[in-house]
Amino acid sequence: MTYFQLFGISIPALWIAVLGTAFLISLKIDDWFGNALFIYVLVWKFSYVLFYWESILGLLYFNGGIKGHWLGLVSSAIYIILLAPKKYPSIKVQAGIVLLLYMYTFETIFNLLQRDFLFTIIQGGIACLILSLRKKLKLQWVILFFMIELLTLSLQHTLTLTKFFTFSMFIFISILFTIKERTNG
Amino acid sequence: MVKKITSIVILAIAIVLVAFAIANAMYKKEKPESTEQAADFTLEALDGTKISLSDFKGQKVVLNFWATWCPPCKAEMPHLQNFHENNENSDVKLLAVNLTASDSVSNAVDFVDAYELTFPVLLDVDGEVGQLYEVITIPTTYFIDEDGNIVEKFIGALDEETMENIIDSY
């Protein structure tokens, strides 16, 4: 099931998984996370005009697509790395685990929507494992869990280049904060 | 500490591998979801030729339903045109059915001229095909495979990238 018909239109399962995960995470995490998500969605949606400026009407219905995704991701990364830490000191402890957890929670919900229950359980199980280890998450573990995610996705044959680079970006930020946190004591 | 990391590594990898082994053993790849055959129809195109869906057996068909008074249809037309141009030499065919029963031929002609559309536009004068395909909200677009099975029914405006993604997925 790639699309769900809600409110009379087709909604990609991907969006439901992205937003569902964001909602769950935002319950426990400070505002920097919501802000970063907001920046991402805004850039992703409105970057449509950059690529299809000749048909402005489309802005109502369309988004920036894959190019908009990269622009949005880079924009929120800049926000998370450079701007947010000043206002939200808690980001230094939260960012590392949140991005790792985002990957696994997203995959859990996405597989659930695709009715692939086996991989829902695998991804959900590892998400719980990470959650239980959150107090002692060290650099090696962040990298390790990233590798395990890649292994899982390869076994399932769902590792696309887009997903690989998106998750790599998550892990890059995650590692950045894990190292910073350690050097700060 | 090292011991603990090791045990967690083993645990995590074990979860993945055991689950994968169980998966391999237990579920034989199910057939792709039950598919529905796209009903055949014959309609007259704007240029007067008769076109049937069955003319395109062996090709992937994108079957779009639209009307001139529908804003999202207007928004997606440049995308449909681009998609058509990019796939002209491949085995993908775009057919756009104008819901003429709730529109008019002259409106459709003006619209096609204004948007410089070059793909076939069929006229559903009696509204039968729209009813057959249960088109309630427009635009509605069906993606049909080489054997005439409906792979996806998409309701709402489609952009080029989404169309290409759906076409590539089957």
Residues A136-149 have pLDDT tens digits of 777 788 888 888 88
Whether A14 has its CB under 8 Å from any CB of chain B: the answer is no
Mutant choice from A55, A113, A119 vs B, greatest count of B C-beta within 10 A: A55
Q: Please give, rounded to a whole number of angstroms, the shortest distance from the CA of A33 to a CA of chain B.
A: 27
Residue B107 sits at the vertex; the CA angle it makes with B105 and B111, to the nearest 5 degrees, is 115
B8 → closest Cβ in A1, A10, A133: A133
C-alpha B142/C-alpha B165 separation (Å) is 14
**What's the pLDDT band for A69 if we cut at 50, 70, 90?**
very high
Q: Look at phi and psi of residue A27 and say left if phi exceeds 0, alpha if psi is from -120 to 50, else beta.
A: alpha
Chain A hits for B20, Cβ within 8 Å: 122, 155
Cβ distance of A9 and B156 shorter than 8 Å: yes
A3-30 mean pLDDT: 89
Mutant choice from B64, B154, B166, B170 vs A, greatest count of A C-beta within 10 A: B154
- Backbone dihedral angles phi then psi of residue B35, each to the nearest 5 degrees: -105, 155
Instruction: Give me the total of CB pairs closer than 8 Å, taking one residue from chain A and one from chain B.
Output: 82
8 A C-beta contact, residue B38 and residue B144: yes
Residue B28 has pLDDT above 70, yes or no: no
Of the listed ranges A176-185, B28-37, B113-122, B143-152, the least confidently predicted one is B28-37
Domains of chain A, by residue range, sit at 93-185
Chain A hits for B9, Cβ within 8 Å: 144
C-alpha A95/C-alpha A132 separation (Å) is 16
Whether A133 has its CB under 8 Å from any CB of chain B: the answer is yes
Residue A84: predicted pLDDT:
85
Q: Please give, rounded to a whole number of angstroms, the shortest distance from the CA of A88 to a CA of chain B.
A: 30
Which positions 116-145 of B are in contact with A (Cβ < 8 Å)?
136-137
Whether B1 has its CB under 8 Å from any CB of chain A: the answer is no
C-alpha A93/C-alpha A82 separation (Å) is 15
* A38-56 pLDDT per residue, tens: 999 999 999 998 887 777 7
In chain B, % of residues over pLDDT 90: 48
Task: Give the DSSP H/E element, type plus range, for residue A43.
Answer: helix A31-46
Closest CA to B139 of B66, B78, B89: B66
